[in-house]
Structure 1
Amino acid sequence: MDLSIAGILALDGLTNGAIYALLALATVLLFAVTRVIFIPQGEFVAFGALTLALFQAGRIPGTVWFLLVLAGVVALADLVHGLRQGHRPARIGRQLLRTLAWPVLASALAAWAAPRGWPLLAQAALTLALVTPFGHLIYRLAYESLADASVLVLLIVSVGVHFALVGLGLFFFGAEGFRNPSFWDVRFSAGAVTVNGQTLIIFAASLALIVLLWLVFERTLTGKALRATAVNRLGARLQGISSAGAGRLAFTMAAFIGALSGLLIGPTTTIFYDSGFLIGLKGFVAAVFAGLSSYPLALVGALGVGLLESFGSFWASSFKEVIVFSSILPVLLWRSLRDPHGEEH
């Protein structure tokens, strides 16, 4: 290996690491706020990439029907809960409107716009509008009633949600893989290393989102409420912060990050309905490096995972996944010895 090859591998690793960093940040965010180890984070990546691909093909994406079905199920649950609690019809109606308004509007706009060949950036924005509500709806349906359960129970639910989303993804999107067009189709040469426009967009978007998240958590009341919930759920409740509202917002943010990651990674690799699992799992490995608690360490761990994957594929391409996922073992052993803990109560 010479310096030119090392530079190419490093650039590829850092590009993938930037994507893994976003997923790692979303994983840390969800665990901190809700104690959910969210295995299906990668499914948002696949949904985002496949939705944009179907828009590009002039077809109505399966995301439209999936979103409507999921919103309908949550609305039905709201209706049943309201009737059981004896709520007034006006209150039930407002809740149903809050649940259905955005999914119905976004789905109607997507169904109208799909055959009209909108520009790529407009289709990307519509994709984000379709996929982002999945986070809120999935939390409402699968996690909200179990918010105070143990971490193990929430992990088991996450595994079930993962398998459900993969199966439904196959039903709504089909088994065909897609690769999206680049958002910026230019190339820049720096010696033996060639940087394309999509790579620069990935770095810029990842950096911008990380800075935006920092600003949200440091400068806004909503971000401080999420931080308070992450530090002490009971204390946050006593201060009037809704843990349910914090969970819904955290899942919505995670869905947005996942969908954006799908848009960024779609032009660099072919995405299938089940591709999100491995991508999300590498983000999870990076989050474990950070102990599921530190955003800066999650970023560093993600870049490390990307570099390890890139150089591992050069030396032993058949074992690159084994190399990446095996790297988590010494980290887990070190953390177990450093921070022994008893059984959760």
Structure 2
Amino acid sequence: MDFSIASILMLDGMTNGAIYALLGLATVLVFTVTRVIFIPQGEFVAYGALTMAMLQAGQVPGTVWLLMLLAVLAGLMECWSRWSHAHNLAQAIKSALIMAVPPLLIAWGTLWAAPQNFAMPVQALLSIAVVATFGPLVYRIAYQSLESATSLVLLIVSVGVHFAMTGLGLLFFGAEGFRNPSFWTSSWAVGPLNITGQVVIIFTIAVLLIAVLWLFFERTLFGKALRATAVNRTGARLMGISTHAAGQFTFLLAAGIGAVSGLLIGPTTTVFYDSGFLIGLKGFVAAVVAGLASYPGALIGALFVGIVESFGSFWASAFKEVIVFTLILPVLLWRSLRSGHSDEEA
């Protein structure tokens, strides 16, 4: 291996690492607020890329129909929950409308816009809006009633949600893969490297998102209030923090980050309905490196994962996935030895 090959592999690894950083960021975000290890994070990546591909083809994405279904289901669940607790029909209907109407408006707007062949930035914003709106709905349907459950129960629910979203992806998008056009087609030769505009966009968005969210959760009162729901949910409620709203807002951010990741990775690789699983797992490895707590740590861990994957694919392409996922073992061992052990919670 000479310097030219090493440079190309390094750039490729850092590009993939930036995508993994976004997913690691979303994983840390969800876990720190809701204690949910969100396995289906990668499905939002696939949904984002495939929704964009359908809009590029002038077709109505299948995610629109799924969004309508989940909006109605979540609205009915919210109505029943409010009615069973307060027996106030007007309040129950109001809560149901707040839950269901925004997703339905986004779905109907996308139905109208799909055959119009709008410019690529408009299609990208529509894709992000559709996929991001899945977040609060998924939380309301699958997690909200279990928010006080143990982390193990929440993990089992996440596995079930993953399989459901993967199957629905096959139903709505089919087994065929799609590759989206690049957002910026310019390129620059820097020595042996060919740096494209898409690579610049990936790095820029990854760094900005991580910086903004780190500042939000570490420096703002609202961000600290969201984190408080994970530390002590009962105490957060007593302080006037709505744990339901915190969970839904967190899932909205995570789904939006997944959608953005899908749009960024779409022009660099062919995306299938199940492509998000492996991509999401690599983001999870980055989050574990960060201890499921640090946003800058997730960035560093993700870049490390991407570089290891890139060089691993050069030296032993058949085992690159094994090499990447084996990274989690020494990290877990080191964190286990570094931290004290406590009795398992009842």
Q: TM-score range by the shorter chain?
A: over 0.9
Residue 226 of structure 1: how far off its partner (Å): 1.4
After superposition, what is the alpha-carbon deviation per residue over 1:92-133, rounded to whole angstroms, capped at 9, x for unaligned?
221121112111111111111111100000000011110111
Gaps (5+ residues) in structure 2? none
Write out aligned runs for 1:1-345 (5 A): 1-339=1-339, 340-345=341-346
Query: Normalization by structure 1: what TM-score?
Result: 0.97
Aligned residue type for 2:261: S
Residue 85 of structure 1: how far off its partner (Å): 3.2
Residue 222 of structure 1: how far off its partner (Å): 2.2
Aligned residue type for 2:188: F
Q: Secondary structure of 2:345's partner?
A: coil
Q: Secondary structure of 1:167's partner?
A: helix
- Partners of 1:174 and 1:87 in 2: CA distance: 44
Deviates more, 1:79-88 or 1:28-37: 79-88
After superposition, what is the alpha-carbon deviation per residue over 1:281-321, rounded to whole angstroms, capped at 9, x for unaligned?
00000111111112221111101000000010010111100
Deviates more, 1:310-319 or 1:333-342: 333-342
2:71–2:101 CA contact under 8 A, matched in 1 = no
- Partners of 2:84 and 2:343 in 1: CA distance: 40
2:214–2:296 CA contact under 8 A, matched in 1 = no
Aligned residue type for 1:341: S
Gaps (5+ residues) in structure 1? none
2:29–2:250 CA contact under 8 A, matched in 1 = yes
Residue 88 of structure 1: how far off its partner (Å): 2.5
Query: Normalization by structure 2: what TM-score?
Result: 0.97
Residue 233 of structure 1: how far off its partner (Å): 3.0
Residue 42 of structure 1: how far off its partner (Å): 0.3
- Partners of 2:90 and 2:231 in 1: CA distance: 36
Residue 269 of structure 1: how far off its partner (Å): 0.5
Residue 70 of structure 1: how far off its partner (Å): 0.7
Q: Secondary structure of 1:195's partner?
A: strand
Deviates more, 1:220-229 or 1:123-132: 220-229
Q: Secondary structure of 1:278's partner?
A: helix
Residue 218 of structure 1: how far off its partner (Å): 4.1
2:136–2:249 CA contact under 8 A, matched in 1 = yes
- Partners of 1:233 and 1:295 in 2: CA distance: 22
Residue 68 of structure 1: how far off its partner (Å): 0.4
Q: Secondary structure of 1:9's partner?
A: helix
- Partners of 2:267 and 2:314 in 1: CA distance: 22
| Number of corresponding residues | 345
Residue 87 of structure 1: how far off its partner (Å): 3.0
Aligned residue type for 1:285: V
- Partners of 1:241 and 1:73 in 2: CA distance: 25
Residue 217 of structure 1: how far off its partner (Å): 2.2
Residue 219 of structure 1: how far off its partner (Å): 4.6
- Partners of 1:86 and 1:34 in 2: CA distance: 25
After superposition, what is the alpha-carbon deviation per residue over 1:208-240, rounded to whole angstroms, capped at 9, x for unaligned?
211221332245432221133344333322221
- Partners of 2:219 and 2:286 in 1: CA distance: 26
Q: Secondary structure of 2:319's partner?
A: helix
After superposition, what is the alpha-carbon deviation per residue over 1:227-260, rounded to whole angstroms, capped at 9, x for unaligned?
3334433332222112221111111110010011
Deviates more, 1:66-75 or 1:230-239: 230-239
Residue 86 of structure 1: how far off its partner (Å): 4.9
Q: Secondary structure of 1:144's partner?
A: helix
Q: Secondary structure of 1:188's partner?
A: strand
How many percent of aligned residue pairs carry the same amino acid?
64
Q: 1:115 to 1:187 in 2, by over 3 A?
A: same
Q: 1:222 to 1:207 in 2, by over 3 A?
A: same
- Partners of 2:162 and 2:345 in 1: CA distance: 24
- Partners of 1:84 and 1:213 in 2: CA distance: 36
